[in-house]
Amino acid sequence: MQNDKIISCLAYNGKVNIRCIRSTNMVEEARKLHDLSPTSTAALGRLLTITSLMGKEMKGEKGTITTQVKGSGLIGNMTAVADNNGNVKGYVSNPQLDLPLNPENGKLDVGNAVGKQGMIYIIKDIGLKEPYVGMTPIVSGEIAEDFTNYFAKSEQTPTVVALGVLVDKNGVRAAGGYLITLMPDATEEDIVKIEEALKKADSISKMLDDGRELVEIAEIVTGDQNLMYFEDDNIPQYICNCSKEKMERNLITIGKDEIKDIIEKDGKAELICHFCNKKYVFSEEDLRKLID
Ligand SMILES: [Zn+2]
């Protein structure tokens, strides 16, 4: 299977920015780690895909972005975190939720799984004192539309967002997405050309499943055959960087009395990482050290 990849391009002489991602492997990794149902694979997969793409844009050595979708649907909350290489991790409250296909379009019913009401949260931390926090209401629960609304309302940037995850009985067949951002000097003519191009284009997951390269996809969806594009050798991946030390810090934050309680009741503590489901066991001895 091809590696995952992110590319960044300029169309219409720099007046339009387009970023594309192939995220098939990272979404498949999430599916395996969390034993996700097809519906949850599509929902969390779309969120991981956009978060990786937005993470790659972050400034600063240690920039991270956290996205959360808190909708009214049965899937519960979803969280994804990416670094500025596009490496990503995430989890969902109800990983096994599976709904019938959406009767209107025959696709996995992410909108109803997420729910039509609720909020999305975007937290960007570039190492300043306070992270940037943006939030907007959920529009459809389909994730791409919800982020389109976020870019328009919260960042005042007109952006086309497309996200797709294609799942079959063997797992994730294709996943990816793109963001088309209009610069302030984009003309009405450029916009019309892009609209025409988007009308003709297949869905992102179909184009990836057909084996199209990201540059080709960028050309198709912008309608510009003379793109300038940038790519690096970086392979964005699903990576969890949890460790016993980090878990220790989490335990310390719950306080001495709570830890004493745990010792009395259970004699040990078992912590499971939300992002990768790795289990960390703290013995009574470990816990007593933490209290000291
Ligand atoms: Zn972990």
Ligand 1 mean position, distance from CA 92 (Å): 14
Condensed to tens digits (0 to 9), the pLDDT of residues 197-236 reads 999 999 999 999 999 999 999 999 999 999 998 888 899 9
Reply yes or no on whether the pLDDT at 59 is more than 80: no
Ligand 1 mean position, distance from CA 84 (Å): 18
The whole-number pLDDT of residue 254 equals: 85
The CATH code of the domain that includes 266 is 3.90.1280.10
Reply yes or no on whether the pLDDT at 146 is more than 90: yes
Ligand 1 mean position, distance from CA 277 (Å): 6
Residue 236: inside a domain: no
Residue 39: inside a domain: yes
Same-domain pairing of 44 and 157: yes
Reply yes or no on whether the pLDDT at 178 is more than 90: yes
Reply yes or no on whether the pLDDT at 83 is more than 90: yes
Same-domain pairing of 279 and 143: no
Ligand 1 mean position, distance from CA 6 (Å): 24
Q: What is the mean pLDDT of residues 59-88?
A: 93
Sign of the Cα pseudo-torsion (165, 71, 142, 84, in order): negative
- Averaged pLDDT score across all residues of the chain: 94
Ligand 1 mean position, distance from CA 136 (Å): 28
Residue pair 122/134 in contact by the 8 Å Cβ criterion: yes
Same-domain pairing of 257 and 168: no
- Write out the residue range of the structural domain in which residue 153 sits: 5-231
Ligand 1 mean position, distance from CA 274 (Å): 7
Q: What angle do CA 128, 133, 134 make, to 5 degrees?
A: 145
Residue pair 240/275 in contact by the 8 Å Cβ criterion: yes
- Of the three residues 208, 231, 254, the one that is the final residue of a domain is 231
Residue 238: inside a domain: no
Ligand 1 mean position, distance from CA 196 (Å): 43
The CATH code of the domain that includes 29 is 3.55.30.10
Ligand 1 mean position, distance from CA 240 (Å): 5
| Pairing relationship of beta strands 118-125 and 132-137 according to DSSP bridges | antiparallel
The whole-number pLDDT of residue 12 equals: 96
Condensed to tens digits (0 to 9), the pLDDT of residues 29-43 reads 999 999 999 999 999
Residue 239: inside a domain: no
Residue pair 183/14 in contact by the 8 Å Cβ criterion: yes
Total domains, the chain: 2
pTM confidence score: 0.94
- The C-alpha atoms of residue 127 and residue 230 are separated, in whole angstroms, by 26
Q: Closest by alpha carbon to 95, among 110, 109, 76?
A: 76
The whole-number pLDDT of residue 232 equals: 84
